[in-house]
Amino acid sequence: MMNKILITLLVLMSLLACENAEKPSGFRLLYTKPAEIWTEALPIGNGRMGAMVYGGVQQEHIQFNEETLWTGEPHDYSHKGASNYLAEIRQLLADGKQREAQNLASEKFMSVPLHQKAYQPFGDLYLQFPGHENYTAYQRELDIEKALAKTSYIVDGVQYKREVFASFPNQVIAVNLSADKKKALNFELALDAVHEQKAVFTEGNTMELKVNVKDGALYGVATLVVKTDGAFAAVDNNIQIKDASEATIYLSAATNYVNFNDVSADAKKLAGEKLKHLEGKKYKELKADHIADYQQLYNRFKIDFGDNGRAAMTTEKRIVEFERLPEDPQLLALYVQYARYLTIAGSREGTRPTTLQGIWNDKIRPPWESKYTVNINTEMNYWPVELTNLPECHEPLFTMLKEVAETGAIVAREHYNCDGWVLHHNTDIWRGAAPINASNHGIWVTGGAWLSTHFWEHYLFTQDKKFLEENYELIKGSAQFFAQFLYRDPNTGYLISSPSNSPEIGGLVAGPTMDHQIIRALFRICIEASEKLNKDHAFAEELKALIPQIAPNQIGQYGQLQEWLEDKDNPEVKHRHVSHLWAVYPGSEINPEETPELMNAAQQSLEFRGDGGTGWSLAWKINYWARFLDGNHAYKMIHRLLSPAITPDNKERGGSYVNLFDAHPPFQIDGNFGGASGIIELLLQSHLGKIELLPALPSALPNGNISGVCARGGFELAFSWKDGQLEKVEVLSKAGNTCHLKYNDTLIEFETEKGKNYSFNGELK
Confidence band for 648, pLDDT divided at 50, 70 and 90: confident
757 in any annotated domain: yes
Give the residue-averaged pLDDT of 142-166. Answer: 98
What domain count does the chain have?
Answer: 3
Which segments of 173-276 does DSSP mark as H helices, in order? 267-276
> Can you give the residue range of the structural domain that contains 206?
27-70+120-299
635 in any annotated domain: no
User: 292 and 228, same structural domain?
Assistant: yes
User: 127 and 172, same structural domain?
Assistant: yes
- pLDDT tens for 351-369 read 999 999 999 999 999 999 9
User: 228 and 244, same structural domain?
Assistant: yes
CA distances from 655 to 320, 509, 637 (A): 11, 32, 10
User: What does the pLDDT read at residue 325?
Assistant: 85
> Residue 119 is which amino acid?
Y
Longest dimension (CA), the chain: 97
User: 112 and 125, same structural domain?
Assistant: no
222 pLDDT above the threshold of 70: yes
User: 65 and 109, same structural domain?
Assistant: no
d(CA 462, CA 714): 5
Half-sphere exposure of 245 (CA within 13 A, CB side): 4
CB burial class (10 A; 0-12, 13-18, 19+) of residue 248?
buried
CB burial class (10 A; 0-12, 13-18, 19+) of residue 96?
exposed
Confidence band for 540, pLDDT divided at 50, 70 and 90: very high
On whether the CB atoms of residues 146 and 294 are closer than 8 A, the answer is: yes
Last residue of one domain, picked from the residues 496, 527, 552: 552
498 pLDDT above the threshold of 90: yes
Last residue of one domain, picked from the residues 525, 552, 579: 552
What are the beta bridge partners of residue 646? 652
- pLDDT tens for 473-488 read 999 999 999 999 999 9
> Residue 88 is which amino acid?
E
User: 102 and 188, same structural domain?
Assistant: no
Count of CB atoms within 10 A of residue 264's CB?
A: 9
d(CA 636, CA 632): 6
* Nearest alpha-carbon partner for 52 in 658, 677, 672: 658
683 in any annotated domain: no
- pLDDT tens for 749-765 read 999 999 999 999 999 99
249 in any annotated domain: yes
User: 542 and 394, same structural domain?
Assistant: yes
679 in any annotated domain: no
285 in any annotated domain: yes
Q: Which residues touch 309 (CB under 8 Å, ≥6 apart)?
A: none
359 in any annotated domain: no
246 pLDDT above the threshold of 50: yes
Strands 739-743 and 691-693: parallel
User: 165 and 98, same structural domain?
Assistant: no
User: 156 and 109, same structural domain?
Assistant: no
Confidence band for 20, pLDDT divided at 50, 70 and 90: very low
CB burial class (10 A; 0-12, 13-18, 19+) of residue 80?
exposed
User: 284 and 230, same structural domain?
Assistant: yes
Q: Give every strand in the sheet of 739-743, ordered side by side.
A: 684-685, 691-693, 739-743, 746-750
* DSSP state, residue 558: T
User: What does the pLDDT read at residue 525?
Assistant: 98
User: 238 and 175, same structural domain?
Assistant: yes
CATH classification of the domain holding 487: 1.50.10.10
Angle at 391 between CA 457 and CA 661, to 5 degrees: 100
CB burial class (10 A; 0-12, 13-18, 19+) of residue 411?
buried
Report phi then psi at 435, rounded to 5.
-70, 135
714 in any annotated domain: yes
Confidence band for 318, pLDDT divided at 50, 70 and 90: very high
On whether the CB atoms of residues 128 and 115 are closer than 8 A, the answer is: no
User: What does the pLDDT read at residue 14?
Assistant: 34
User: 506 and 421, same structural domain?
Assistant: yes
Last residue of one domain, picked from the residues 271, 299, 327: 299
The b/e string for 583-601 (b: 16+ C-beta within 10 A; e otherwise) is bbbbbbbbbeeebeebbbb
* Conformation bin of residue 623: beta by default, left when phi > 0, alpha when psi is -120 to 50: alpha
Mean pLDDT score of the chain, rounded to an integer? 95
503 prior amide bond cis, ω within 30: no
